[in-house]
Amino acid sequence: MNALRTTILLAGMTALFMGVGYMIGGTGGMALAFLFALGTNAFAYWNSDKMVLSMQGAKEIDPRSAPELYQMTQRLADNAGLPMPKLYLIATDQPNAFATGRSPDKGVVAVSSGLVKYLDSREVAAVIAHELAHIKNRDTLTMTVTATLAGAISMLAQFGLFFGGSRDNNNPLGFVGVIAMVILAPIAAMLVQMAVSRTREYEADKDGAEICGDPMALATALEKISSLSKRTVNEAAERAPAMAHMYISNPLSGARMDNLFSTHPNVENRIAALSQMASSVRGGGGGQTPRQRVNPIEANVRPGQSWRTPGTRPRPDDGKPSGPWG
């Protein structure tokens, strides 16, 4: 049902894009808008991951710089039947994460330094599993397409304000129609984009909980992320708000309600769904059985431990591994 809903929403976005072209230049404008949409999406298909990572200031990490995090991600990827994705670090104290890449073979998972600082090993594993679910479901490509089309629709609407009001361009509604289009088309595109994002987040929560085998770990991770994000500014996300829907939780200040203009579902609704999933599994009530849980001990991480972030000194407690950063 979610896949069908996403397909319908994407079709609506494409139709809206072509409708804006028709309002600007009639059937010829509609054809040009369609060709432009193909071009922008082709560019986004091949370059979206590089653009997103660059805009968020992410730096690649490897097994030497983060051995435990890398090992955990590898085990989760195996559990999900995916190739090992590339791992990136976002230098922000706000706990968050996102996935990108045009296909599972080109998958990328980016985590913030705040995520490994404030969340324990079970919760970090659950967040990574959520992002792997996005990669497996090809949500990263879907969301890139919707973001690209939404931006192009807004640009075309502004273009139509200057060139869509003349009488010789086959515009069916004249200048009044153009004014309405300039106001309403970007809003409609934003609503479709937000609807696609919220649809895929619920599905990734469910699939991510199955990948890590621990629905309540994802629930507590979402609760911590939501609470801490309200008190921490993610400067890279604020500079590129169009990418906010890619994060596991809204990284922007404000607009955190489950309404038409929210990029993410209400966190309480997501936690309730995960709690119901966990109860169904425990009670054998017909819920899907989670896949094998990633064992924190096998990953050389103590349960409940908050991992050390880069640039800090090891803990002088028991000489055990201090986290994915060495």
Considering 68, 131, 203, 210, which one is annotated as catalytic? 131
100: nearest Cα among 176, 155, 63, 45 = 45
131 is catalytic: yes
280/276 Cα distance (integer angstroms): 6
The rounded distance, in Å, linking the Cα atoms of 113 and 91 is: 6
**DSSP run (H or E) holding 87:** strand 86-90
Supply φ then ψ for residue 264, to 5 degrees.
Answer: -135, 155
* DSSP annotation string for 296-324: TTTTT--TTPBPPPTTSPPPSSSS----T
Both tokens of 57, joined, read 């200031």
Query: How far is Cα of residue 276 from the mean position of the Cα atoms in its chain?
Result: 23
What span, in angstroms and rounded, lies between the C-alpha atoms of 88 and 54? 11
* Inter-CA distances, 132 with 97, 127, 158, 207, 249, Å: 11, 9, 37, 9, 15
Torsion angles phi and psi, residue 98, rounded to 5: -150, 165
CA distance 82 to 151: 31
Distance separating alpha carbons of residues 228 and 219, to the nearest angstrom: 14
For Cα atoms 263, 116, 235, give the angle at the middle one, nearest 5 degrees: 50
Q: How far apart are CA 173 and CA 178, in angstroms?
A: 7
Place of tokens 């990633």: 294
Which ranges in 56-93 belong to alpha helices (H)? 67-80
Residues involved in catalysis: 131
